[in-house]
Amino acid sequence: MKLEGKLFKDGRTWIVEVPALELVTQGTSRSDAMVMIEDAVESLVNCEGFKASALPSDGATFLLGANMLAPLLALVLRRQRQAKELSFADAAERLNQKSRNAFARYEQAALSTKASGGVAVRAPSVEKFEELLHAISPECELILAVRAPR
C-alpha cells in the first residue's frame, strides 16, 4: 500500500505534502524534498527497521510507501485522530465501543512493534482500517488504485 503525495515548487523551494498524514515538508530540490518526507515519516513512526520510500509518480504527485505496513497505517490513524483533536476515548466512542483500547490498540501497537523488542503486529484488514479511519475522519475516503509497475 502506498499513500499519494503532492510535490510542487514554491519559489526556490520544493514542497512535499502527504494529505493522509497531515504532513508537509520541503527541500531545496525535488530529490531533497523526497528525502525530507521519507525522513519525516520515519521520525514520526520511530520504529526500529521502518523505512519509508517516496517514489516519483508524475510531475505533481509521488507515492509514499514503507517496508512495514502496520506502522504506516498506525501513523495514518494517529495523524488523522490528532488532526481532529480526538482522544482515544473519543475515537472509541465513535466506533460505538466502551473501551478506549478499541481504537488505541490499532494505533499504538503497530507503532511500538520491534521498537520495544515486541512481537510484530499485523496490519488491520482493509475493512477494519476503513472502519477506524471513517470513525475519526468521516469525510475521508479510502480509494484503491491499481497501477502498473513502472
At the topology level of CATH, where does 3-66 sit?
Double Stranded RNA Binding Domain (3.30.160)
Find residue 62's DSSP bridge partners: 5, 56
Collapse the DSSP code of 147 into the 3-class scheme (helix H, G, I; strand E, B; otherwise coil) and give the result.
coil
pLDDT at residue 114 greater than cutoff 60: no
Residue 20 has a pLDDT of: 92
The domain limits of the chain are 3-66, 69-136
Residue 115 has a pLDDT of: 45
Overall CATH class of domain 69-136: mainly alpha
pLDDT at residue 120 greater than cutoff 70: no
Residue 56 has a pLDDT of: 84
Strands (E), the chain: 3-10, 13-18, 23-27, 52-56, 61-66
C-beta atoms surrounding 97 within 10 Å: 14
pLDDT at residue 149 greater than cutoff 70: no
What's the average model confidence in pLDDT over 62-81? 92
Q: How far is C-alpha 111 from the chain's CA centre?
A: 11
- 22 Ramachandran zone, left/alpha/beta (phi>0; psi -120 to 50): left
pLDDT band for position 23 (cuts 50, 70, 90): very high
Q: Which of the pair, 63 or 113, is modelled with greater confidence? A: 63
Phi, psi of 98 (to 5 degrees): -85, -30
Residues 6 or more apart whose CB falls under 8 angstroms from that of 105 comprise none
pLDDT band for position 48 (cuts 50, 70, 90): confident
Q: Are strands 3-10 and 23-27 parallel, antiparallel or unpaired?
A: unpaired
**pTM reported for the whole predicted model:** 0.86
Residue 111 has a pLDDT of: 54
